[in-house]
Amino acid sequence: MKAKVYLVGAGPGDPELLTMKACRILGEAQVVLHDDLVNPEILQLAPVSARIQNVGKRCGHPRIAQEEINSLMVTLANQGLTVVRLKGGDPLLYGRAGEEMEALRGAGIEFEVVPGVTAAFGAAAAARIPLTDRRLASKVMFLTNHLRSEENAPLEPNSISQDTTVVIYMPGSEYGDLAAKLCAAGFDAHTCCLIVSAATTERQQIHAGTLEKLASTPGLPAPALLIVGGVAAYYSSAENPLPKTFLASS
């Protein structure tokens, strides 16, 4: 049997947002190595006979080193098994796919990448806001608030223009510090922002505010991300009605 590893995007959470290809490959898997935050409903698409193993790395849970995951994929593939490495969102965006592809290439293992809906798109759709708008935002910037060393990711002073939508993955809970860095990077303190937790799932929470009020916002559970920019003003709810003058003034 020819070995093969699939790096598959599980999307932001809603099983219906999986691609048809992801569903098919999961249904053929012999082994599924999944991230900690992958929706359990998605795992049910794998055959009953498949080996399902959580290899996620999440605060408060036992950690498995990336090198161990790489070695496990190679070992299983060399046993002739069809291995699905199932990642939240899209494998190619903050999913360490680069390291895993390098390990598979080095071991001579055939692999394929199956894209998924990344969390930024799922969160924006759930909040019913655009990430770009010709009147407000011509650029989108994806950032993560954590580097490999687990330190907060830097934001250079005056590096962001007002016509940019910034989406920060894994914002952590120190919102005040992050807001200060975003303001130093170029945003006005009154810039609108959204924290979206568990986007597209039944546990979804959305908190709207501005950068100046972000420090007083309670931390929302992972997976969460922060969307900052003029487009965030499009978000409306019973608690956060859209200003009547917004569309006219923008």
Average pLDDT over residues 140-149: 79
From CA 161, how far away is CA 184, in angstroms rounded?
11
Residues 60 and 86 in one domain: yes
Query: What local confidence, expressed as pLDDT, does residue 205 receive?
Result: 95
Q: Is a pLDDT exceeding 60 seen at residue 98?
A: yes
Which pTM was predicted?
0.89
For residues 57 and 80, the answer to whether their CB atoms sit within 8 Å is: no
Q: Tell me, yes or no, if 57 is annotated catalytic.
A: yes
Return the structure tokens found at 120. Answer: 């930024």
Is residue 21 part of the annotated active site? The answer reads no
Q: Catalytic residue at 35?
A: yes
pLDDT tens for 226-246 read 999 999 999 977 666 665 444
- Domain hosting 65: range is 4-114
CATH number at residue 25: 3.40.1010.10
Q: What is the pLDDT of residue 104?
A: 97
Q: Of 247, 224, 228, 187, which Cα lies nearest the Cα of 89?
A: 224
Question: In this structure, are residues 187 and 228 in contact, taking their beta carbons and an 8 Å threshold?
Answer: yes
Looking at 76, 96, 114, which one is the last position of a domain?
A: 114
Rounded to the nearest angstrom, the gap between the alpha carbon of residue 102 and the centroid of all alpha carbons in its chain is 21
Among candidate residues 4, 21, 36, 57, the one labeled active-site is 57
d(CA 51, CA 60): 24
Which segment of 73-82, 97-106, 144-153, 174-183 scores lowest on mean pLDDT?
144-153
The CA distances from residue 65 to 75, 92, 180, 198, in Å, are 15, 19, 32, 25
CB contact at 8 A, 163 and 136: yes
Number of domains in the chain: 2
Q: Which run of H or E residues covers position 246?
A: helix 246-249
Is the same domain home to 159 and 109?
A: no
Name the residue among 228, 217, 248 with its Cα closest to residue 188: 228
Beta-bridge partners for 197: 205, 224
Going by the DSSP 8-state scheme, the letter that residue 134 receives in this structure is T
Asked if residue 197 and residue 104 are part of one domain, the reply reads: no
Give me the catalytic one of 35, 87, 90, 181: 35
On whether the CB atoms of residues 122 and 224 are closer than 8 A, the answer is no
Do 182 and 210 lie in one domain? The reply is: yes
The model's pLDDT over 44-75, given as tens digits with 9 standing for 90+, comes to: 999 999 999 999 876 545 568 999 999 999 99
Q: Of 235, 244, 230, 233, which is closest to residue 136 (Cα–Cα)?
A: 230
pLDDT tens digits along 161-179: 999 999 999 998 889 999 9
- In the set 141, 163, 170, 213, the catalytic residue is 170
> Which residue reads 């009147």 in tokens?
135
Stretch 15-27: mean pLDDT: 97
Last residue of a domain, one of 62, 87, 114: 114
123 and 245 part of one domain: yes
Closest alpha carbon to 197 in 93, 95, 116, 127: 127
Read off the amino acid at residue 22. Answer: A
Residue 54 in contact with residue 36, Cβ under 8 Å? yes
Cα-to-chain-centroid distance, residue 88: 7
Domain finish residue from 114, 142, 160: 114
